[in-house]
Amino acid sequence: MRKQFQHLFWGVVLLAGLGNSVWVEAKPGSATKETWPMFRGGPSLTGVSPAKLPDQPKLRWTFSIGDPIRSSAAIVDGVVFIGADNGKVYAIDLATGQEKWQWETDGMIESSPLVLEGRVFVGSGDGFLYALDQATGKPLWKYETEDQILGAPNWVESPDGKSTWIVTGSYDYFLHCVDAETGKGIWKYETGNYINGAPAVSDGKTVFGGCDALLHVIALETGKKVKEIEAGAYIPGSAAMVENRVYVGHYESEFLCVDLNEGALKWTYRDRNFPFYSSPAVTAKSVVVGGRDKRVHCLDRESGKDRWRFPTRGKVDSSPVVAQDKVVVGSSDGLLYMISLSEGKELWSYEIGESIIASPAVIDQWIVVGGEDGLVYAFGQ
Asked if the structure places residue 35 within a domain, the reply is: no
Q: Is residue 18 in a domain?
A: no
Nearest to 326 by CA among 307, 302, 345, 309: 345
- Print burial letters for 77-100: b (CB count within 10 Å at least 16), e (below 16): eebbbbbbbbbbbbbbebeebeeb
User: Tell me, what amino acid is at 51?
Assistant: A
Distance CA 82, CA 283 (A): 26
CATH number, residue 279: 2.130.10.10
Which range marks the domain in which residue 65 is found?
Answer: 48-380
The verdict on residue 286 lying in a domain is yes
Where the chain has pLDDT below 70, the residues are: 1-28
The predicted structure's pLDDT at residue 10: 33
**HEC assignment per residue over the chain:** CCCCCCCCCCCECCCCCCCCCCCCECCCCCCCCCCECCCCCCCCCCCEECCCCCCCCEEEEEEECCCCCCCCCEEECCEEEEECCCCEEEEEECCCCCEEEEEECCCCCCCCCEEECCEEEEECCCCEEEEEECCCCCEEEEEECCCCCCCCCEEEECCCCCCEEEEEECCCCEEEEEECCCCCEEEEEECCCCCCCCCEEECCEEEECCCCCEEEEEECCCCCEEEEEECCCCCCCCCEEECCEEEEECCCCEEEEEECCCCEEEEEEECCCCCCCCCCEECCCEEEEECCCCEEEEEECCCCCEEEEEECCCCCCCCCEEECCEEEEECCCCEEEEEECCCCCEEEEEECCCCCCCCCEEECCEEEEECCCCEEEEEEC
Q: CA 286 → CA 35, 46, 47, 225, 344, distances in Å? A: 23, 11, 12, 29, 12
First to last CA, the chain: 36
Among residues 152, 102, 161, the alpha carbon closest in space to that of 124 is found at 152
Distance CA 381, CA 364 (A): 9
pTM: 0.93
Rounded Cα distance, 364 and 73, in Å: 15
pLDDT of residue 287: 98
Residue 4 maps to a domain = no
- 42 in a domain, yes or no? no
Task: Quote the CA–CA distance of 80 and 366 in Å, as a whole number.
Answer: 11
CA 356 to the chain's CA centroid: 15
- Distance of alpha carbon 310 from alpha carbon 298, whole angstroms: 8
pLDDT tens for residues 270-286? Answer: 998 999 999 999 999 99
What gap in Å lies between CA 208 and CA 216, rounded to an integer?
Answer: 6
Alpha-carbon distance of 372 to 306, in angstroms, equals: 30
| Total residues belonging to the chain | 381
* pLDDT confidence of residue 25: 55
What pLDDT was estimated at residue 24? 52
Residue 16 lies in a domain: no
- Residue 70: phi and psi, rounded to 5, are -115, -15
The reported pLDDT for the residue numbered 14 is 38
Give dist(CA 287, CA 280) in Å, integer. Answer: 6
Q: How many folded domains does the chain comprise?
A: 1
pLDDT at residue number 21: 53
In a domain, 264, yes or no: yes
Cα–Cα dist 168/178, whole Å: 8
| Residue 329 included in any domain | yes
How far apart (Å, rounded) are the C-alpha atoms in residues 54 and 231? 39
